[in-house]
Amino acid sequence: MSSRQVAVMPEFLPLPPVGRRFTGGQPVRLGDTDPLGRLRPDAVARYLHDVANDDWDDTDVDTGDMWVLRRTAMRLGPGGRWPTLGEHVAATTWCTGIGAAWAERRTDLSVNGTVLVETAGLWVPLDGTGRPRRIHPEFKRIYGESAQGRKVSGRVDLPDVPTGVIARPWPLRRVDLDVAGHVNNAASWTALVEVAEEPVSSAVLIHHGPIEWGDDVTLVTVAGQLWLLANGQVRVSGRYELMG
C-alpha cells in the first residue's frame, strides 16, 4: 500500500517546562457520548475547537484571523480509556511548533489529573475572505516560548484511494455548516464514528480541501482507513485503530 494512501500520525510532544498553556473544561454531556456513555471522537474534535478559541480569546489579542484545522490526531493517553458521561474533562492546550502559515497545537484531555486523551492539531489561519495567511507576529510573541523554536511543516500529501474499497453516499446536513459556509471540520469526524465498528484507540483525519453545501459527497472505506470525496475529489482522508 502506498504511503500516499495513509494519513500519517504526527508526533505527540510533551508539555514544555516553559511557555504559555491554557486549561479549560466541561463535563461530558449526553449529546457527546456513544450508547455506552463514552466520549465520541467527533465530540473531542469540538472540544479542541472550543479550548483553542478560549485560549486565544484569553490573550486579548485580535489579529482578525479565523483558524481552521488541517490535520487532527487523537489517541488514548496513559489512562487508557475515553472520558465517560458526567465526568469533568480538563482540556490543557499549548503550542508545539510554528511554520510560515500554520501552527501545531497539542491538547490533553484529563479526568481527575489523569490524561485520558492526547491530541495534536495542525492549524491554519485564514483572512476575512477565507484565504490562508502568514502567521501574525503577535501569535509568535505569545506562543513562541512554548514552541521552543520548533518549526512545523504544513505539507499534507493528497492521498490515493486504493481499489477494493466500499463506497456509499454521505448526505450533507445544514447543521454541519460553519460560518465560512463549509462543512465544519469537527463534523467530518462523524464519518469515523459511522464506520468504526468499535471504539478507537487512535485516529487521524487530514482535511485536503473544503466540503461545501451542494457537493456530491461519498464516504469510501477500507479496514482502518476512510476518505470523504466531494464530486470525486478527496477532501478528507484518515486512518484509525480500534481498541483491543
Angle at 29 between CA 68 and CA 65, to 5 degrees: 15
| 183 plus 225 within the same structural domain | yes
| 198 plus 91 within the same structural domain | no
**Residue 55 grid coordinates:** 485560549
In a domain, 38, yes or no: yes
The structural domain count of the chain equals: 2
In a domain, 227, yes or no: yes
pLDDT for res 6: 58
In a domain, 47, yes or no: yes
Over the stretch 138-187, which tens digit does the pLDDT of each residue have? 999 999 999 999 999 998 888 889 888 999 999 999 999 988 788 998 89
Spatial distance between the Cα atoms of 81 and 79, rounded to a whole number of angstroms: 6
Of 71, 76, 111, 63, residue with least CA distance to 91:
111
Instruction: Give me the CATH number covering residue 28.
Output: 3.10.129.10
Angle at 67 between CA 65 and CA 68, to 5 degrees: 150
DSSP state of 10: -
Stated pTM of the model: 0.93
| 99 plus 218 within the same structural domain | no
pLDDT for res 1: 41
Please list the alpha-helical segments (H only) found in the chain: 41-58, 137-147, 185-195
Three-class secondary structure of residue 85 per DSSP = coil
pLDDT for res 181: 82
Radius of gyration of the chain (CA): 17
**Residues 6+ positions from 55 with CB-CB distance below 8 Å:** 22, 24, 93
pLDDT for res 3: 42
- Write out residues in the chain with pLDDT < 50, as ranges: 1-3
For the chain, the distance separating the N- and C-terminal CA atoms, rounded to the nearest angstrom, is: 23
pLDDT for res 142: 97
Spatial distance between the Cα atoms of 199 and 8, rounded to a whole number of angstroms: 20
In a domain, 152, yes or no: no
Is 212 within 8 Å of 230 (Cβ atoms)? yes
Range of the domain at 214: 166-242
